Chains A and B, each alone.
Chain A
Amino acid sequence: MKGEDERLAATATTNAAGVRETAGLPNFAEVVDRHKAMVFSILWHYLRDRTAAEEVAQDVFLELHRSWDAMKSAEHIVFWLRRVTSHRAIDCARRKRLHLETSLEATAEPTALERVHDSFLSSYLERMVASLPEKQRIVIVLRYQEGLELEQIADVLGIKISTVKTQIFRGLELLRAKTAQRLGRTVE
């Protein structure tokens, strides 16, 4: 790894904004364009507040801009973005004391409607995810929005794989139970 860092440093130049551009790394503007949906969506699904999600997403990319020197590869950038975004989402929710972790009965609209159109179930599930406890919420978002494996989620959040497994299991159980209760049918 050290050898690779030296090789990358040797090929670096500094652009007009004072950000080092390393051969093999995309430029900052490309990174923003390519990954803005990922960053925004993690925040949206966690916070359920579009304004807050966009604000924090901007802060994440500016942090990346300040930390550009430390970026080693395109994959490293993605990992870094997921990690920082996840932590910022948790921090933002705590700071604002968002009462998302309320009783699911309080957040859910009774849904005889799901029988009319299955797509309504998607928005219902989105809202239910946003009302999960903090740890379950972030692992569910990383698993089902980003499609990450358990080991990857553990790396991003800096927690044990066993913890990831437990939180996903509990999160899914809670979502299944509440969905089944509302729909009045068994959910596989």
Chain B
Amino acid sequence: MRWRTTAMVAAVVMAAPLWALDDIHTLPSLDKLAQRAKESVDVTLDASMLQLASGFLSADDPDEMRVKKLVAKLKGIYVRSLEFDREGEYGASDVEGVRALVRAPGWTRIVGVKSLKGENSEVYVKKEGSQVGGIVVIDTEPKELTIVAIDGPIDPEELSELGGHLGIPKLGRGKTKAEKGSSKGDQ
């Protein structure tokens, strides 16, 4: 009977999530990559640091107030952005650790885009009822890798509203291939 109990406990433990979103900042593969990067940005803000930071946002600055509203309920923000001198400094296996985090239950890939220039982007969201409970963006370019993980309820629309502020380019709707083709035909 004892071995059955042990097996059951082990099964429960193994089934429980062994990771949390803040594990992104401790992934060994990213630390190794950072050592080879020409430039790296590493931001790790858990709930307490977010609260501290939020308290220093200026009430006189509308942009900073927008940020304050955006992050009010978040549990964490983690960013790893690495820029390399040459192409080929990292591969798919280096990013696999991050992808493993978002294969857990509750996460859904909502966008997967590949471009001919070798720029690939994936966006994952964690659904909690009708709300978004987290966002992960994995952006890979030949010489740049960026991972953004936002833990907590966030409104992607609010993040979009920052367009035109804080140095984030406004979203100008670019022409799709179909639109480009039809305009050529008009000539």
Contacts and interface: CB of A to CB of B under 8 A. Distances in A.
Interface string A112-126: 110011011000000
Contacts of A112: 39-41, 81, 83
Nearest to B40: A110
A117 B39 contact: no
Interface in A77-134: 109-113, 116-117, 119-120
Most buried by B among A110, A117, A119: A110
Q: How large is the interface on A (under 10, 10 to 19, 20 to 34, 35 or more residues)?
A: 10 to 19
A110 B167 contact: no
B31 interface: no
Interface residues of B, number: 10
A158 interface: no
B89 interface: no
A103 to B, nearest CB: 17
A111 B81 CA distance: 10
Interface in A119-166: 119-120
Contacts of A111: 39, 41
Q: Is the contact region of chain B dominated by helix, strand, or loop, or is it mixed?
A: strand
Contacts of A184: 38-39, 83
Given A112-B81, A112-B83, A117 B166 contact: yes
Interface string B147-174: 0000000000000000000111000000
A56 B39 CA distance: 39
A4 B39 CA distance: 62
B40 A117 contact: no
Interface string B17-61: 000000000000000000000111110000000000000000000
Nearest to B166: A117
B38 A110 contact: no
Contacts of B83: 112, 184
Q: Which 8 A-B pairs have the closest CB atoms?
A: A117-B167, A112-B39, A112-B41, A116-B167, A110-B41, A112-B81, A112-B83, A110-B40
Interface of B: 38-42, 81, 83, 166-168
22 contacts: A109-B41, A110-B39, A110-B40, A110-B41, A110-B42, A111-B39, A111-B41, A112-B39, A112-B40, A112-B41, A112-B81, A112-B83, A113-B41, A116-B167, A116-B168, A117-B166, A119-B167, A120-B167, A182-B39, A184-B38, A184-B39, A184-B83
Interface of A: 109-113, 116-117, 119-120, 182, 184
